[in-house]
Amino acid sequence: MGILSELEKKAKRLNKRIIFPENDDPRIIEAACLIAKDKIATPVLLGKKEEIAKKINACLSRLKIADSAKEKIRIIDFSEIDYGRYAQQLYGLRKKKGLTIDAARKLLEDKIYAATMMLKLGEADGVISGAAHPTAHTLRPAFQIIKTKPGIMLASSCFLIIHRLGNFVFADCAVNPNPDEAQLADIAISAADAASMLGIEPRVAMLSFSTHGSANHELVEKVRNATEIARKKRPDLVIEGEMQLDAAIVPEVSGLKFPDSRIPGNATVLIFPDLNAGNIGYKLVERFGGATAIGPIVIGLAKPVNDLSRGCKASDIVGMAIITAIQAESN
């Protein structure tokens, strides 16, 4: 059984509640119907209850899904949302940053803020958005309200890469343009934890154009220092670097270039030195290498908030719901 099937089975056992604020998008409605049909999670939709119910009924009919599936979908009408309580909570979180109670109420008019507050207060287990909005719209409230896990200074992202050579985690491919050495160390730690969550044994390679001192440059020094920082923070993890890609994944090359490596050409987690490399890298593997790339999966947050591509399909949203449910259990 493939990794996606295993992850889906696990998600089904967890029965997590996942909020989709963008119920105006037909892909979200279709994904909610599919998630409900397969009992992957409980989709939660925010908006006008009658309008959403009509869309769900039409979608179930079009997809030939039994009406019983809609019992698994929760619709929260705007009138049911306790904006006053949420505003007080948001004000308490952000007043030191200058947020007023009136400004908090105004922010909550945007469904992504209401959804994120529901997640913060334990009224949901995850949030998925971004099908109809840019990444910043989804992640800004998460950074302000959910914040990062203890000991992690920043949120980042990873992709699950499913390839004929195996399953890998690539990071950071979507969030941090040019992390410094301390941030790069946190990205490595978060990506390793994500790999474990996905059922992949984390063997972390810190990638560079240099392998084990073969070149000296400030860019190499950043990766080298990040490796040491990550090792000190998490001595339980296998983290090696700096190294070139071939030394990370090809045993013969590893033996020649880095014979004493703790990752002898069998890395499962690849950490790119910046967003240029990470974004290009995963797309090269996806487009030229025939890999399946699932993500971006936002990592490092205290609770899961995930961002969709605006070009996503309903099936992509279902896949992200599976990941989000598993993240919620891990967190």
Q: HSE, CB side, 13 Å, CA atoms: give it for residue 84.
A: 2
pLDDT at 189: 97
The DSSP annotation for 238-273 comes to EEEEEE-HHHHH-HHHHHHH-TT-SSSS--SEEE-S
The number of C-alpha atoms within 13 Å of 235 and in the hemisphere containing its C-beta is 1
Q: What is the pLDDT of residue 32?
A: 97
Pair (17, 53) in one structural domain: yes
CA 172 vs. chain centroid, Å, equals: 11
Proportion of the chain above pLDDT 70, given as a percent: 100
| pLDDT, tens digit (0-9, with 9 covering 90-100), for 207-216 | 999 999 888 8
Predicted local distance difference test score (pLDDT) of residue 1: 54
Percent of the chain scoring above 90 in pLDDT = 89
pLDDT, tens digit (0-9, with 9 covering 90-100), for 158-191 = 999 999 999 999 999 999 999 999 999 999 999 9
Residues 79 and 140 in one domain: yes
pLDDT band at 134 (very low <50, low <70, confident <90, very high): confident
Cα(177)–Cα(152) distance, integer angstroms: 17
What residues pair up with 148 in beta bridges, in sequence order? Answer: 301
Q: For position 295, what pLDDT does the model report?
A: 86
Q: Are residues 124 and 43 in the same domain?
A: yes
- Bigger pLDDT: 19 vs 24: 19
Mean pLDDT of 18-34: 95
Provide the β-strand partners of residue 217: none
Given CA atoms 121, 136, 83, 42 in this order, what sign does their dihedral have? negative
Average pLDDT, the chain: 94
Burial group, residue 211, by CB count within 10 angstroms (0-12, 13-18, 19+) = buried
One domain for residues 259 and 315: no
CATH number for the domain spanning 261: value is 3.40.50.10750
Instruction: Identify whether residues 281 and 162 lie together within a single domain.
Output: yes
- 61-119 residue pLDDT tens: 999 999 999 999 999 998 888 999 999 999 999 999 999 999 999 999 999 999 999 99
Residue 320 and residue 288 share a domain? no
**C-alpha to C-alpha distance for 221 and 1, rounded to whole angstroms:** 41
Same domain, 163 and 271: yes
pLDDT at 330 over 90: no
Verify that 202 and 121 share a domain, yes or no: no
CA distances from 301 to 39, 179, 285 (A): 25, 17, 27
Among the listed ranges 79-83, 106-110, 295-299, 317-321, which one has the minimum average pLDDT value? 79-83
Q: What CATH number did the domain enclosing 28 receive?
A: 3.40.50.10950
Domain that holds residue 13: 3-147+302-330
Statement to judge: residues 131 and 184 lie in one domain: no
Residue with structure tokens 């950074």?
A: 143
Q: Assess whether 101 and 181 both reside in one domain.
A: no
Report d(CA 300, CA 303) in Å as an integer: 9
pLDDT tens per residue across span 42-64: 999 999 999 999 999 999 999 99
pLDDT tens string 252-269: 999 999 999 999 999 999
Going by pLDDT thresholds of 50, 70 and 90, the confidence category of residue 250 is very high
Place of tokens 């259990």: 329
Examine the domain organization and report whether 51 and 138 are in the same domain. yes
Query: Are both 183 and 286 inside the same structural domain?
Result: yes
Q: How many domains does the chain have?
A: 2
Q: What is the pLDDT of residues 300-315, one digit of tens each?
A: 999 999 999 888 899 9
